[in-house]
Amino acid sequence: MTKILWGGATAASQYEGGYRRRGIDTQDCRPYLEKTSNATVATRLLTKKTVEQAVEENQIFYPFRKGSNGEDRTAEDLALLSELGLDVYRLSISWSRLFPNGDEEIPNEDGIKYYDAIFKELINKKIKIFLTINHYALPLHLVTEQGGWKNRKTIDHYLKLVTVIFSHWGELIDYYLPFNEINAGYFSPYNGTGLLKPENDAYAYNDIFLSLHHQFLASAKAIALGKKMKVKGQFGAMISCFCYYPLTPKPEDNLQLVLDEQINQWFCMDVLARGEYPYYMNKFFLEHDVDFEISEADRLLLKENTCDFVSFSYYSSSISSVEESQQQTAGNLVATTKNPYLKASEWGWQIDPIGLKTTLLKVYDRYQKPVMIAENGLGARDVKETDGIHDAYRIEYFKQHFQQILEAEQLGVNVLAYFAWGIIDIVSAGSCEMEKRYGVIFVEADNQGNGSYDRYKKDSFYWYQGFIAEQRKARRKSQKVE
């Protein structure tokens, strides 16, 4: 019988709001874009000029400065998550709430009190805690003044944040994730590593992979520090997974699939779960002029501090091909060739439940460590009617994907947990809009920040509540038999 923990997830920058009570971070400078075919790409191409202009003109854009107004509704939201029956809740720390500029010596006491209340209330409600230490948002000062993750000193600033977390809540947190979707540093350098795009130029590959290397080291050092401080929780690593299919049976397309998986999907997890740079990156680095020093001390640190479990986000599958003229569609972090066998959301993300089972099998085969589905869900334009929010399409999405998870577990995959993304409606990180909703809890607000921000349960809330209750009952029954 299943032992999977069923949960929900949010991210501080998309949920909390309260930008006047913390420092400005990189997410605050991203504008909402009207939905177009490339909206989820354009918002990731912020330049130094764009960011400086936003700050100088005090033009901190709507979506992330307000989020879901979670800062002012913490008690209400935690009560709803408890009523929902979550086994585990994934949330992130706002770095700029604890260290407004990122490089202060002493953390902000109000920030400590804010998270202290959240963690203790989750414990009171018997909900396990999965904490993402850094979910994209980086204090803007570290980017504009110090170069973000390009600068090795950012590791030290990060470890100050980690030390505060371990010191205050090390006995409360069950699972730690040092970095959200760490391979986003390759696809989305501004989000992932705080790199600003040069004016009229492309990102330098060396800057991207040097920044990623510093994040790998920061992750390993966080794990080492956790061991030293004897914190309770386990440590994970996370990538975004795309479940590649070849466009045709042509050998060239199948070879391209292997290459796409290596670079786009496996590279970062190979480092964090196996503790060393994979062989296939040597050729890639040579071809892209990536050349930075990896010391023996760095290699030893990575080897001795690998993750305890692996996790991934999964929203849709992708197509690999040497043919570049195929019709494209949007997806998480990347665009892909349209698959004629799949339906898609309004935003073009192809819905593929079987791809989730395929991904679970591939990830478990490759790493042989417990697996978490750290993000999954359906973004849709939900409508509040007089008699409720009727999101039958989300319920069907859950049913199909949960069935594939349970089948993967029956095949022997050690699935630790599942997290429904944006369990409470939050600002979309891709298109920076509120009206692309993922939650089972509706937040009454629009893309311009208008609305009451009141909470309402969707039909999917009641469905997921019943599903979790059934799974928990079956789990207890199985434990009694054992």
Residue positions counted in the chain:
482
CB neighbours of 143 closer than 8 A, spacing ≥ 6? 26, 51, 194, 196
Catalytic annotation on 375? yes
- Residue matched to tokens 């311009």: 448
Q: Look at 226 and 188; give whichever has higher pLDDT.
A: 226
Catalytic annotation on 57? no
pLDDT of residue 48: 55
- Where does 309-428 have alpha helices with state H? 353-367, 392-410
pLDDT at 42 over 90: no
The mean pLDDT value of the chain amounts to 90
pLDDT of residue 334: 59
pLDDT at 39 over 70: no
Which of 175-189, 357-371, 440-454 shows the highest mean pLDDT?
Answer: 357-371
Q: Which residues lie across from 306 on neighbouring strands? A: none
Which of 52-66, 221-235, 414-428 comes out lowest in average pLDDT? Answer: 52-66
Which of 34-48, 302-316, 445-459 comes out lowest in average pLDDT? Answer: 34-48
pLDDT > 70 fraction of the chain, expressed in percent and rounded: 89
pLDDT of residue 326: 61
- As a whole number of Å, the CA-based R_g of the chain is 21
Output b/e per residue, 397-417; b: 16+ Cβ within 10 A: bbeebbebbbbbbeeebebbb
For residues 93 and 96, give the distance between their C-alpha atoms in angstroms, rounded to a whole number. Answer: 9
Neighbouring CB atoms inside 10 A of 441's CB total: 24
3-state helix, strand, coil in the chain (%, to 5): 45, 15, 40
The pLDDT confidence band at residue 201, using thresholds 50, 70 and 90, is: confident
pLDDT at 47 over 70: no
For residues 465 and 472, give the distance between their C-alpha atoms in angstroms, rounded to a whole number. Answer: 11
- Where does 378-444 have alpha helices with state H? 392-410
Residues 38-63 have a mean pLDDT of 50
State which amino acid sits at residue 451: G
Query: SS3 for 15?
Result: helix
For residues 419 and 385, give the distance between their C-alpha atoms in angstroms, rounded to a whole number. Answer: 27
Q: Which residues lie across from 9 on neighbouring strands? A: 90, 421
Residue of 16, 71, 181, 261 with catalytic role: 181
pLDDT at 36 over 50: no
Query: SS3 for 443?
Result: strand
Type and span of the H or E element at 181:
none
Dihedral sign of CA atoms 408, 403, 440, 447 in order: positive
* Start-to-end C-alpha separation, the chain: 10
- Where does 195-266 have alpha helices with state H? 205-229, 251-260
Which of 57-61, 185-189, 340-344, 371-375 comes out lowest in average pLDDT? Answer: 57-61
pLDDT of residue 429: 81
Residue of 16, 71, 261, 375 with catalytic role: 375
pLDDT of residue 190: 85
pLDDT > 90 fraction of the chain, expressed in percent and rounded: 74
CB neighbours of 326 closer than 8 A, spacing ≥ 6? 247, 319, 337, 338
For residues 455 and 302, give the distance between their C-alpha atoms in angstroms, rounded to a whole number. Answer: 44
pLDDT of residue 187: 84
pLDDT of residue 31: 56
The answer to whether 377 touches 421, Cβ cutoff 8 Å, is yes
Instruction: Single out the residue of 191, 475, 149 nearest to residue 333, CA to CA.
Output: 191
Residues 194-207 have a mean pLDDT of 85
Instruction: Single out the residue of 145, 211, 196 nearest to residue 30, CA to CA.
Output: 196
The pLDDT confidence band at residue 432, using thresholds 50, 70 and 90, is: confident
